[in-house]
Amino acid sequence: MFLRLTKEIELKRLLLFLIIAGLFTVGCTESEVTPSEDLPDTIKPSWNTVVVDSNGNVGEYSSIAIDSNGKAHIAYFDYLIDEQIGDVPVPFGNLKYASNVSGDWEAFTIDTGAGMLPRICIDNNDKVHIIHSQLGTSDPYSILDLRYTTNKAGFWETVTIGNQVVKGADSSISTDSNGKVHISTRNEEGTGTTSEGSKGGLRYVTNATGEWTWTDVDTSPTCGNDTDITVDHNDKVHISYLDKNEGLKYATNVNGSWEVFNVDDEENVGWNTSIVMDSNNTVHISYSDPSPIIDPPGNGYLKYATNKSGTWTTQVIDDDDAGAFTGIAVDNQDNLHISYCTSDGRRGRLMYTTNTSGSWTKETADEDEPSVGIYCAIDVDPNGNPHIAHYDYIEQDVRYSTRK
């Protein structure tokens, strides 16, 4: 299973380069789909983009959270080398963190050799929480161990959750009103420790009782990729994730026990999920029907799902080679903000769409370089302004785009 996982990671990295380099043109013609909304480009607003960190190859798998003062916190991967496991190249590097809390951007390493696939969140006290996975061949038994890093106690501390037992990939993290941690992950238990390899499925991990505990929510071996998690105002948990055979799925314990729902049952649709709750505890999910180059059959759509009407509805937001990566945020007025990456076969663009006007409109947030927008993640500040972290594949640095 580990070899399958690392091949999947490396394949996506390679194909993204091919798309952005213009070697392939992906997507479909306009006549092949009728989106729910026409999305004309609006008058270009004032977007500002800065390079946060350019020291080495930094910025893959970037994740962003905005605190109560509107300051940005970004977790990301510092790629160092490829280590070989048989014929498979395994990306090895560090977990890095950057913030502009002091006014200027400061970036530093907070975990060495264990920074794969980081996700970040901020609790009600503006403390930082990061979940990430350990890779590296020095200790095969620790491959895909889940690592948790926080400054909750006033200093940075990293722990391994359920050492050599709780293993995961495509993890996400959120906190409840008491500052307790809730994690969703693809269950990779057994990787590196048994000949059978991982079990697969969606696993939920928490320290809500004071100790780390975990539950297998969906045991289907084809599910658990691209998870995202959020906690509502009643401290109930909501998770979006991909089942490669059954499409986009959603799991929740809102009624006391775990329930699983099929949201969009088209095969292989539901990559890059991102989930938020509004003030009415309505669920909103952005996700992709990805390019056929990356995940056949695929269409290259940015999609959106919600249960606002009481039943699940889905919508194509952008059908123009869109949705390679998605992130969704909700502001204090329950307006939605989505970041995503699009490519026309010649260059990659960081895109932004919002329904603040009552219907979906889109904007180009960054196209200054030919390969921006990759691994984009979004959050909003207390004034409803979007903040986006993303990766420049060619320059290999972390970028930060804001609109005010």
Q: Where are the domains of the chain?
A: 2-28+45-403
| Residue whose pair of structure tokens reads 């699940």 in the numeric block | 312
Query: Does residue 121 surpass a pLDDT of 80?
Result: yes
How much is the CA Rg of the chain, to the nearest whole Å?
19
Q: Which two tokens stand for residue 22?
A: 């213009």
Say what the pLDDT of residue 85 is.
72
Q: Which long-range contacts (CB under 8 A, 24 or more apart) does 286-289 make?
A: 286/317, 286/326, 286/327, 286/328, 286/338, 286/340, 287/226, 287/240, 287/242, 287/248, 287/323, 287/326, 288/322, 288/323, 288/324, 288/325, 288/326, 288/340, 289/316, 289/323
Comparing CA positions, the residue from 313, 189, 312, 181 lying closest to residue 259 is 312
Say whether the peptide bond before residue 370 is cis (omega within 30 degrees of 0). no
Give the mean pLDDT of 361-374.
92
Comparing CA positions, the residue from 296, 287, 249 lying closest to residue 268 is 296
Query: Does residue 42 surpass a pLDDT of 80?
Result: no
Give the mean pLDDT of 86-108.
92
d(CA 204, CA 171): 10
Q: pLDDT digit string (tens) for 274-287?
A: 999 999 999 999 99
Give the mean pLDDT of 283-295.
81
Query: Does residue 99 surpass a pLDDT of 60?
Result: yes
Which class does domain 2-28+45-403 fall in? Answer: mainly beta
Query: Does residue 346 surpass a pLDDT of 80?
Result: no
Phi/psi of residue 71, nearest 5 degrees: -90, 150
Say what the pLDDT of residue 89 is.
82
Q: pLDDT digit string (tens) for 199-208?
A: 899 999 999 9
d(CA 176, CA 234): 9
Say what the pLDDT of residue 232 is.
96
User: How many C-beta atoms lie closer than 10 Å to residue 147's C-beta?
Assistant: 23
Say what the pLDDT of residue 342 is.
87
Binning pLDDT at 50, 70 and 90, where does residue 221 land? very high
Query: Does residue 24 surpass a pLDDT of 80?
Result: no
d(CA 19, CA 22): 5
3-class secondary structure, 268: coil
Report whether 305 contacts 289 (CB < 8 A): no
Comparing CA positions, the residue from 328, 382, 380, 335 lying closest to residue 351 is 328
Give the mean pLDDT of 321-342.
94
Average pLDDT, the chain: 88
Query: Does residue 79 surpass a pLDDT of 60?
Result: yes
Say what the pLDDT of residue 323 is.
77
Choose the weakest-confidence range: 107-116, 128-137, 220-229, 288-297.
288-297
